[in-house]
Structure 1
Amino acid sequence: MMQKARIEQLFRSHYRDMYRLAMILLHDDAESKDAVSEVFAQLTTREDDLEAGKERAFLMTGVRNRCLNVIRNRNIQQRARKLYLPEAENDIRSVEVMEEELAKINELIATVLTEQDRNILLLHYRSKLKYREIARQEGISEVAVYKHLRKAIETIRNHFKPNK
């Protein structure tokens, strides 16, 4: 275990440079101080003394590695936020607005689509039937089911596209 006096001597000699490096990498005062402190805390558990003449390199490398860990953790947290809070969901809409949009879609399905397109769309998305089951029930081929679904979806999509 390194002696307390030796760690204090290293602290006085190298703290300023270590802190500067951490600030360059992290751009945050508190995180920079924490990174440097963690390096010195690690020294207290070290069994052997640092090699003479290589103390600075060891300490600076330790700070760099701690800072890179902090940056990596920031990136992971940012990616997680993007996954769990997509920008589209950040715009919280009221229940009334969503109910109005749903009513418009239901009205569109009832008025614009042909009866067969509407039936196939509802069987597939509401009743969760597979193409094969819909084909048997409607007396058509699976390819026809696919074409009717594609046509219905395209009709709905075109209805909501902004005019060009």
Structure 2
Amino acid sequence: MHTTEYDIDIIYKKNQSKMLRLATLLLKDIQAAEDIVGDVFLSLSDCGIDNVINIEGYLITTVRNRCLNRLKSLSYREKVKRCLPIESVPDNVSCNDYSMEAEERMQAVEAFILEQLTPQTQTVMRMRFQENMKYAEIATELNISEAAVYKHLAQGIRKLKQRFNP
């Protein structure tokens, strides 16, 4: 049996809102979320779903994975800027003012990292978040265990949260 356009339309109507909610939650960007959900359904119509047992689970997992891939491809600065709540920006503040505020916050984070974290923790965080290296790659390059990589990252993130998100 081959999936028809009618089948995909029914699946779309049934699952689109859940998929969009998940993508928006992960990406914090409605346009990017809509793009990903649309891409998932486009790929669904191209390849079909004849062998999929749990279509809802398949769709949610696919959306999650595509969102995570998109987030992984973002630069470190973009990741930090995404964490800043847009709804907290007053109406009378221009986008340029907001960008300057985001840049100032980014500089504060970078200064904190340089002043408050050990050189090893700084290196591990840079390798993980700026260079997108995996734990094993960092461990190999620094000649430390993967557990040590995890501990440095956990320590750095904990200190950043304590300072910037008390």
TM range (shorter): 0.3 to 0.5
Q: TM-score, normalised by structure 1?
A: 0.45
Larger Rg belongs to: 1
Q: TM-score, normalised by structure 2?
A: 0.45
